[in-house]
């Protein structure tokens, strides 16, 4: 029976798709996002500090990255760079592009969050003898992170889904795996729906984590 065969294919492929999800999609997302956060904090701080030159560089980076498609960025790095002798493996290429791309958006989120911490606390920090870096690290960034937590969580969830674009540069993540199974079984509707559901599953877990995180931050008392 047709449904019987379909059920078999779906059950069989579920694990085949989930496995690269766990082995590729999750590490790709986690690594890229962690790097993006590092980039974002530095790029946002540079702007808040108003270091001439560096600030312009930061604005240029954000402008260039936000103004070009992610897919194009992936192609430039993976298919373009070998033309000038720089060859990167698919996975590192993907991490690089996702981190640099997300870093630009997250930098704007962080900048807004940093600017929302009242300037008076920075001045109070100076008056008790702290340096700018100490004030940022101990007073401003913790408050900014709290503020930025919901929008950054959104970005993380968006990134999980965007990693499917890495299929274009031969990273065998969930989507590429699904494409291969479709090529063998000719069940595109069912299988693409299935991979969609797995992405939904991942996003749902992250949404739970976000709620949990927000609750924990709230318990921590400061407002």
Partner 1 sequence: MDFVEGEIMLEVQDVRKSFDGREGQGPFPREVLRGVSLSVRRGEVAAIIGPSGAGKTTLLRCVNFLERASSGRLTFGGQSFDLTRISKRDIAAIRLRTGFVFQDYNLFRNRTALGNVTEGLIAARGIPKEEAEEMGRRMLDKVGLSNKYDAWPSQLSGGQQQRVAIARALASKPEIIYFDEPTSALDPELTGEVLSVMRKLAEEGHTMLIVTHELAFARTVASQAVFMEDGAVVEAGPAEDVFSHPSRERTREFLNLTK
Q: Please choose, from the candidates 88, 98, 92, the residue with its C-alpha nearest in 3D space to the C-alpha of residue 37.
A: 98
Say which residue the tokens 């090529």 belong to: 183
Task: Pick the closer one to partner 1 by CB: 61 or 132.
Answer: 132
1 binds partner 1 (CB under 8 A): no
Binders of partner 1 in range 103-142 (CB under 8 A)? 117-118, 120-121, 123-131, 134, 138-139, 142
Helix (H, G, I), strand (E, B) or coil at 118: coil
Residue 82 carries which DSSP code?
Answer: G
User: CB under 8 A: which stretch of 158-166, 167-175, 204-212, 215-223 binds partner 1?
Assistant: 215-223
Under rule CB under 8 A, how many of the chain's residues touch partner 1?
Answer: 22
Smallest separation, CB 144 to partner 1 (Å): 10
N- to C-terminal Cα separation, the chain:
61
Task: Pick the closer one to partner 1 by CB: 20 or 125.
Answer: 125
- How far is CA 91 from each of CA 1, 23, 25, 28, rounded to the nearest angstrom? 40, 12, 10, 8
**Are the C-beta atoms of residues 24 and 174 closer than 8 Å to each other?**
yes
Smallest separation, CB 189 to partner 1 (Å): 51
CA contacts within 13 A on the Cβ side of 44: 27
67 binds partner 1 (CB under 8 A): no
Residues forming contacts to partner 1 in the complex (CB under 8 A) are 117-118, 120-121, 123-131, 134, 138-139, 142-143, 146, 221-223
């Amino acid at each position: 029976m047709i449904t019987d065969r379909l059920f078999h294919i779906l059950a069989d492929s579920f694990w085949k798709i989930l496995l690269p999800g766990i082995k590729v999609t999750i590490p790709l997302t986690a690594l890229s996002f962690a790097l993006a956060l590092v980039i974002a904090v530095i790029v946002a701080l540079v702007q808040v500090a108003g270091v001439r030159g560096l600030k312009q560089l930061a604005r240029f980076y954000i402008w260039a990255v936000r103004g070009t498609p992610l897919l194009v960025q992936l192609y430039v790095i993976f298919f373009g760079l070998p033309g000038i002798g720089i060859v990167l493996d698919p996975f590192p290429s993907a991490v690089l592009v996702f981190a640099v791309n997300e870093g630009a958006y997250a930098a704007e989120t962080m900048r807004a969050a940093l600017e929302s911490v009242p300037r008076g606390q920075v001045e109070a920090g100076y008056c008790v003898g702290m340096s700018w870096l100490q004030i940022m690290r101990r007073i401003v960034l913790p408050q900014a992170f709290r503020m930025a937590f919901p929008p950054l969580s959104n970005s993380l969830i968006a990134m999980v889904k965007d990693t499917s674009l890495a299929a274009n540069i031969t990273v065998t993540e969930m989507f590429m795996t699904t494409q291969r199974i479709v090529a063998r079984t000719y069940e595109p509707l069912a299988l693409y729906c299935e991979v969609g559901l797995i992405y939904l599953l991942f996003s749902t877990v992250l949404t739970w984590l976000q709620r949990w995180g927000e609750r924990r931050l709230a318990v921590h008392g400061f407002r």
